[in-house]
Amino acid sequence: MAEADGNGGLNRWSLKGMTALVTGGTKGLGHAVVEEFAELGATVYTCSRNEAEFNKCIHEWEIKGYKVFGSVCDASSRAEREKLMSNVSSLFNGKLNILINNVGTNVVKATEEYNEEDFSFLMATNFESAYHLSQLAHPLLKASKAGSIVFMSSVCGVVSVTGGSIYGATKGAMNQLAKNLACEWAKDNIRTNSVAPWFIRTPLADTVLSNKEYLEEVYSRTPLRRLGDPMEVSSLVAFLCLPASSYITGQIICVDGGMSVNGFYPRHD
């Protein structure tokens, strides 16, 4: 873990010289995090299941002058996760400062309608991938002597949301894992935190929010009465990886416009 800068130097607010792995970095929150890190000076490795989408993003980042590398990877596959971490280790000489477990998906159904395939798919994609990648990254993060893991969770893992019970369970498990690893790996100078957004304007959310009645319900549960922007999440993720946050670990921080503290009753204006 980077030592706190007692002189208040600007390096406390920079990721220059640091390395990061951001899973699922070609769209939505992952894309915003990749660009935030690159702007702050980090060298970033990312991945995506979609090769065409991946190649398009890499090209755009090259034009912007960002130091972003990556590969095609299905994070739900154990073998591909191992290959991904091998690539990261090779590129960064066996050291890694930051791991962002961002990959995630959802299947919205009533609990009684889920089947075995749904359960296995969501657990493997959302939770097992994050757990295994953290295991694989541990020696690299430890070797950097300034390691930070951020889990991209959800308010669905904190409060009840009509977004699917399995999804909520995977995010709740992710939050608990952040607490456990924060204590277990503190001796290795690795900090671990969880970021829990509410509805953010991303492709995954757009499919649900196209329903105007549901969108109004979302607004009614949100004191700020609006959706979040990906950059409002990526800025927090970046902060949790900066030297400036070197005494913060084991936390679950909601980025939700006040939703998680608003109870279960709609606000009427």
Question: Catalytic residues, which ones?
Answer: 167
Using CA atoms, how far apart are residues 72 and 106, in angstroms rounded to an integer? 21
Residue with tokens 């009614």: 220
Collapsed DSSP state (helix, strand, coil) of residue 253: strand
DSSP states of 142-193 as a string?
A: HHHTSEEEEEE--GGGTS--SS-HHHHHHHHHHHHHHHHHHHHSGGGTEEEE
Report which secondary-structure segment, H or E, holds 258: none
Using CA atoms, how far apart are residues 24 and 33, in angstroms rounded to an integer? 10
CA of residue 251 relative to chain centroid, distance: 14
Collapsed DSSP state (helix, strand, coil) of residue 101: strand
Q: What's the count of helices (H) and strands (E) in the chain, helices before strands? A: 9, 7
